[in-house]
Structure 1
Amino acid sequence: MSIQPGEFASCSLIGDRKINQDRCIRVDGNSAVLLGLGDGMGGHPRGEAAAQVLIDTCQSYFNRTPHPILNPSSFLTRLLHKAHENIVAFGYDQHPAIDPRTTAVACLIQKNVAHWAHAGDSRLYLLRERRVLAKTIDHSYVERLKQQGVITARQQKTHPQRNYVTRCLGGALVSPDITLGKHKLASGDILLLCSDGFWGSIGEEEMLNTLFSNLPLSEAIQSLAEQAAHKAFPDSDNITLIALRMQQADNTHTRVTEDKTEAQTEESNLAQAIAELQNAISNFESETKQEKE
């Protein structure tokens, strides 16, 4: 079964912060879609600029890459490395030089498969039939402690260093390590990219119940963002979500085009056969007339 990107929605709230340092984007191509999200790091100057450079790089790099993209994993890795280089260059160009940083998550949807890459604690969720089918694992200090069994998932939520990420774009002179993932898609799947201001306040069960309700995707996303801000008040972080629901492809136009082409071919073949028959009859009559003469 062929599927394609369908319903789309995004939402970004400032929360209880002075500025919104989150950025997100959707870029469409002939045979692929790219989703991107960055959460500028507030502990460094101009985090919002770093996130914007990431988004600008997503658009420019995707647009100048031929589609379909032959090697999605290589494309996504190079995309985030290029964004990192552009962020570092932006910092050097400031007077005085600064060190802006951002988290990053990007997802390429192509040929019924989602390919993703990330650095930091902004997340991607692949949701199917009210369950989490796949999600990214945060590059963070508390996630490392949880993986090592030092703290529990509950302790992770209130740990004093829960906002400390171990990977990001910008800052280091060398390109950061990028974590990749991919999964085949089915009709009804929802791809969700979000910043930690969202997933830090909303549980997975609540997220699934809202997204798989009868609400339009745009209303579900807006509702979840507002709930996250309300739960974290008066210390809500920036909250950004971008979601895409997959749907079965409509092949009606393709079938009509194919049927029309076949009909035109048959008409052309019939006309050619008639012409050849007429030529044969004409030649036969001409030869018979010559023999009589």
Structure 2
Amino acid sequence: MTPAAPSTPSATRPDLRWSGLSHRGKVRPNNEDAFLALAFDGREVHRLGKFGEASVATSDFVFAVGGGMGGAKTGEFASRITVEKITQLLPKSFHLAARGINNGFTDILLEVFDAIHRELMKLGYSYEECRGMGTTLTLGWLTPGWFYFGHIGDSRLYYLPRSGGITQLTHDHTHVGYLRRQGQITEREARSHPLRNALHQALGAGHQFIDPQFGAVACTPGDRFVLCSDGLVDGLWERQIEELIRTPTPTEAKLNPADRLVAASLENSGNDNTTALSLELIATSAPDQPEPAPAAHPKRKRAAAQSSR
């Protein structure tokens, strides 16, 4: 389930550009991935299109990618439930803040992850066909100067700072991901490891307890982020992701960033559902230093987010 149309740019000078695309791949009969783009300004929540531009000065933005699992149609159902729960729960938290009931970003994201997990587990207990149903989730919350994120599973969040380079901010919740973080295997070895798809953590999927990863990164104009499902990195090395975002060929540049990422991944692999969300903080002038970490909720008092749970 993906946004259906491009969004109309804000009347305020845009400083955020995004694009998203999800494809079922060349092998899978259906698409169990889903992505979401939302904007909210304290009064209304707007479902954003597959691509667009807007101003971070007037709204906060939430972007998410999930990869469902469970076989048949249940993985697709799980990712759809996840998208709908995010759409319902984050606005509720935002409106509570408007009434002076403030929670930190990490607390809000933890509530969202827990609520989705409980819903998927309840469905798994109640219906035989939903048993084992689950999803990964990588979610980013963009506010002026800061990008907060929550994550579970093996979908990913990459940070491409204006100064260059690419960094995976999220941890793959797999044994292979652990080995790579410890420096015991390389990116190439991880891709061919027999246990590369064995998840230790996911929402639902029969896991009684979850321990999502939470964090925050200060961001400035010119910085970029990529959220993606594991299918994208099946077909692209990290250096290729960076090249496609920063230095596309003239032919590649005719596509928006998400489209060119997915197209290149499908050309090289296509064995799995493939989803990408690309975000760019538009550099309209020399970047300023980021504001101090917020002290409570966005647009009002901000609560500093923990770097991890």
Asked if Structure 1 and Structure 2 have the same fold, meaning a TM-score greater than 0.5 normalized by the shorter chain, the answer is yes
CA shift for structure 1 position 145: 2.8
Q: What runs of 5+ residues in structure 1 fail to find an aligned partner?
A: 251-293
Q: What do the CA deviations read for 1:6-46 (whole angstroms, capped 9, x no partner)?
A: 11100111112111000110111113111111101255871
Partner of 1:267: none
Aligned counterpart in structure 2 of residue 231 of structure 1, from 257, 260, 268: 268
Indicate yes or no: 2:273 matched with 1:246: no
Q: What do the CA deviations read for 1:178-229 (whole angstroms, capped 9, x no partner)?
A: 1111101110211211001001221122211221237769623212201111
Partner of 1:41: 69
Partner of 1:168: 202
Partner of 2:54: none
CA shift for structure 1 position 165: 1.1
Moved over 6 A (4+): 214-217
Partner of 1:98: 131
CA shift for structure 1 position 87: 1.2
Q: Please give the secondary structure, in 1, of the residue aligned with 2:111.
A: helix
CA shift for structure 1 position 247: 2.8
Amino acid paired to 1:137: H
Amino acid paired to 2:92: R
Q: Tell me: CA distance 1:149–1:135, structure 2 relative to 1, closer, same or farther (3 Å).
A: closer
Partner of 1:257: none
Partner of 2:176: 142
Cα distance in 1 for partners of 2:130, 2:156 equals: 30
- Contact 1:103-1:120 within 8 A present in 2 as well: yes
Partner of 1:23: 34
Partner of 1:66: 94
Amino acid paired to 2:275: T
- Contact 2:20-2:275 within 8 A present in 1 as well: yes
Indicate yes or no: 2:258 matched with 1:221: yes
Q: Out of 105-114 and 207-216, give the one that drifted further.
A: 207-216
TM value normalised by structure 2: 0.72
Q: Please give the secondary structure, in 1, of the residue aligned with 2:93.
A: coil
- Contact 1:11-1:240 within 8 A present in 2 as well: yes
- Contact 2:75-2:134 within 8 A present in 1 as well: yes
CA shift for structure 1 position 147: 3.7
Cα distance in 2 for partners of 1:220, 1:249 equals: 19
Cα distance in 2 for partners of 1:96, 1:21 equals: 16
Q: What runs of 5+ residues in structure 2 fail to find an aligned partner?
A: 1-12, 42-58, 286-309
Q: Tell me: CA distance 1:212–1:57, structure 2 relative to 1, closer, same or farther (3 Å).
A: same
Cα distance in 1 for partners of 2:149, 2:221 equals: 19
Cα distance in 2 for partners of 1:78, 1:225 equals: 31
Amino acid paired to 2:273: N
Cα distance in 2 for partners of 1:63, 1:45 equals: 28
- Contact 2:156-2:229 within 8 A present in 1 as well: yes
Alpha carbon RMSD of aligned pairs, Å?
Answer: 2.6
- Contact 2:140-2:147 within 8 A present in 1 as well: yes
Paired residues for 1:72-221 under 5 Å: 72-94=105-127, 98-129=131-162, 130-148=164-182, 150-172=184-206, 174-213=208-247, 219-221=256-258
- Contact 2:106-2:214 within 8 A present in 1 as well: yes
Q: Out of 120-129 and 146-155, give the one that drifted further.
A: 146-155
Higher-Rg member (1/2): 1
TM value normalised by structure 1: 0.76
Q: Out of 211-220 and 30-39, give the one that drifted further.
A: 211-220
Q: Please give the secondary structure, in 2, of the residue aligned with 1:23.
A: strand
Q: What do the CA deviations read for 1:101-137 (whole angstroms, capped 9, x no partner)?
A: 1111111111320010111100011112341145212
Partner of 1:6: 16
- Contact 2:225-2:279 within 8 A present in 1 as well: yes
Amino acid paired to 1:166: H
Relative to its length, the structure with more helix (as a share) is: 1
Q: Please give the secondary structure, in 1, of the residue aligned with 2:106.
A: helix
Cα distance in 2 for partners of 1:71, 1:216 equals: 39
Amino acid paired to 1:243: S
Q: Tell me: CA distance 1:70–1:188, structure 2 relative to 1, closer, same or farther (3 Å).
A: farther
